Amino acid sequence: MKMKPDISTLSLAIMGLISQRPQTGYDIRKAFAEKPLGHFSSSPGAIYPALQRMTKDGWICGKVDDEKVLRPRKVYEMTESGRDLLERHLRQSVDRDDVIWRMDDLMLRFSLMDEIVGRAATLRFLRSFATELEAYVAHLRCFLGEAKPSMPVCGRLAMENGIGAYEMNAAWARRALEELETDA
Amino acid sequence: MKMKPDISTLSLAIMGLISQRPQTGYDIRKAFAEKPLGHFSSSPGAIYPALQRMTKDGWICGKVDDEKVLRPRKVYEMTESGRDLLERHLRQSVDRDDVIWRMDDLMLRFSLMDEIVGRAATLRFLRSFATELEAYVAHLRCFLGEAKPSMPVCGRLAMENGIGAYEMNAAWARRALEELETDA
DNA sequence: CGATACATGTAACCGGTTACATGATTTT
DNA sequence: AAAATCATGTAACCGGTTACATGTATCG
């Protein structure tokens, strides 16, 4: 019912940051704590184990930037195989399960993809994103139409809120598409 | 940075269902698998342990509806202290941390509260929900205004998407408020 | 009689949370 | 010298995921 995410949202966010420029665990924690968008845990108990896992898996590697101190300051950067994995992940197309179960991942992918896999991939992404959303909205509207009479007021309102969220995303995708198609 | 949720979203959803009418674990699984809105795991490995925990904590209790069979069919219903806890949870007011970190919980609460704690509480909820959202949107817009020049196009678009989602929710809350104020 | 839906559970695993522990560097 | 900030980590806990195991009732 869920499946797929070879890369967790946290790992993706971390790779997004260190792709821009190599960073320490602490830099990453600060970035997550200060950024208002995309909520990631900035707790050391999340970040450091994640960095260890990703290192073990060969996606990133940490270079001790200073010599023989007891507490080494490690600056992490992407490895080749990490970049590879990241690019493959960013290039994946959008399906219905993604829009239902992995919206956070989708938006995070969008915010990274233009700079890492280029404009063409970004446009492809937005088109499939909008298409899947519009199809799913149609499906939900149909469901709502049938269920409405038997639903309590607030159940119906909650569902309209859910559908509204998907519609907002679809409209945003169309606007973004227009803007990105007509610029440099 | 996160704190608070005395009740997990899954527990809340389960209590919402069995408040309407006593149900078995299997009924709950089916409800989660079929309902298009609010994504809950319908896997037995999530549901049954959750039911056990909630029973242990005294929020619900399961009555074996049939006598000496090897596989008893347990119908769960709310206990008094469970109803108490649920009502207290539903009556909580909305703060900024809720709209940032617990939007799912908020919408689930909304969909249940009218029938469990009444219209007045629902209206109070919607008012504080709208107010917090509008304040947070203002804050984000301000942040975006400052950061915009130094942001990559897609970073800006992603942030606009995030803000748009909050705005959509605020607008929805105002509409819902109007509808609920003027009806029965 | 076999398939399918009904129905309940367990166990290994994984990753995030909270809380704690420690040390280095900079500021007051 | 004390306090704050920079910086890295560990350990216990909790709950969800996946996969497995089992048994019952109904229907063709």
Q: Is A67's pLDDT higher than 80?
A: no
CATH number for A35: 1.10.10.10
Q: List pLDDT tens digits, range A115-170.
A: 999 999 999 999 999 999 999 999 999 999 998 998 999 999 999 999 999 999 99
Give chain B's mean pLDDT. Answer: 93
Percent of chain B with pLDDT over 90: 85
Strand-pair partners of A62 = A76
Q: List pLDDT tens digits, range B60-93.
A: 999 987 666 667 789 999 999 999 999 999 999 9
Average pLDDT for B54-63? 96
Q: How far is the CA of B21 from the C1' of C14 (A)?
A: 35
Residue B1's pLDDT is 47
Q: Is A6's pLDDT higher than 90?
A: no
Q: Is A68's pLDDT higher than 80?
A: no
Q: Nearest-CA residue to the C1' of D17?
A: B45
Compute chain A's Rg from CA coordinates.
20
Q: List pLDDT tens digits, range B156-167.
A: 999 999 999 999
B19 contact residues in A (CB cutoff 8 A): none
Q: Given A91, A106, A134, which residue is the final one in a domain?
A: A91
Residues B87 and B1 in one domain: yes
Count of domains in chain A?
Answer: 2
Residues B86 and B120 in one domain: no
Polymer length of chain A? 184
Q: Given A56, A91, A126, which residue is the final one in a domain?
A: A91
B69 touches strand C (CB under 7 A): no
DSSP B46-115: HHHHHHHHHHHTTSEEEEE-SSS-SS--EEEEE-HHHHHHHHHHHHPPP-HHHHHH-HHHHHHHHHHHHH
List the domain range (segments joined by +) for residue A114.
93-184
Residues A98 and A86 in one domain: no
Which of the four pLDDT bands, split at 50, 70 and 90, describes residue B19?
Answer: very high
Q: Given B66, B91, B116, which residue is the final one in a domain?
A: B91
Q: Is A69's pLDDT higher than 70?
A: no
Q: Nearest-CA residue to the C1' of D19?
A: B45
Residue A10's pLDDT is 97
Q: Which residues contact residue B133 at a Cβ distance below 8 angstroms, ignoring those fewer than 6 apart?
A: B99, B166, B167, B169, B170, B173
Residue A95's pLDDT is 93
B52 touches strand C (CB under 7 A): yes
CA distance linking residue B23 with residue B7, whole number of Å: 19
Q: Is A49's pLDDT higher than 80?
A: yes
Residues B117 and B144 in one domain: yes
Residue scoring higher pLDDT (A113 or B66): A113
Give chain A's mean pLDDT. Answer: 92
Which of the four pLDDT bands, split at 50, 70 and 90, describes residue A70?
Answer: low
Task: Please tell me the distance in Å from B111's CA to the nearest CA on chain A.
Answer: 5
Residues B112 and B143 in one domain: yes
A152 touches strand C (CB under 7 A): no
Closest-CA residue to B140 (of B125, B154, B156): B156
CA distance linking residue B91 with residue A52, whole number of Å: 42
* CA B81 to chain CA centroid, nearest Å: 19
Q: Out of B114, B169, B180, whose CB is closest to A161?
A: B169
Q: Is B111 on the interface with A (CB under 8 A)?
A: yes
Residues A6 and A84 in one domain: yes
Residues B79 and B101 in one domain: no
Percent of chain A with pLDDT over 90: 84
- Long-range CB pairs of A171-175 (<8 Å, 24+ gap) are A172/B157, A172/B160, A172/B161, A172/B164, A173/A126, A173/A129, A173/A130, A173/A133, A174/A130
Q: Is B155 on the interface with A (CB under 8 A)?
A: yes
Residue B69's pLDDT is 66
CB B109 within 8 A of CB B89: yes
Give residue numbers, 23 to 52 of A, with CB < 7 Å from strand C: 41, 43-46, 49-50
Range with lowest mean pLDDT among A24-28, A36-40, B129-133: A36-40
Q: Is the pTM of this model over 0.85?
A: yes
Residues B145 and B63 in one domain: no
Residues A44 and A108 in one domain: no
Q: Across the interface, do A165 and B161 touch by the CB < 8 Å criterion?
A: no
Q: Across the interface, do B41 and A2 touch by the CB < 8 Å criterion?
A: yes
Residues A170 and A101 in one domain: yes
Residues A79 and A100 in one domain: no
Range with lowest mean pLDDT among A68-82, A141-155, B19-33, B118-132: A68-82
Residues A87 and A98 in one domain: no
Q: Out of A43, A107, A155, whose CB is closest to B111?
A: A155
Q: Is A4's pLDDT higher than 70?
A: no
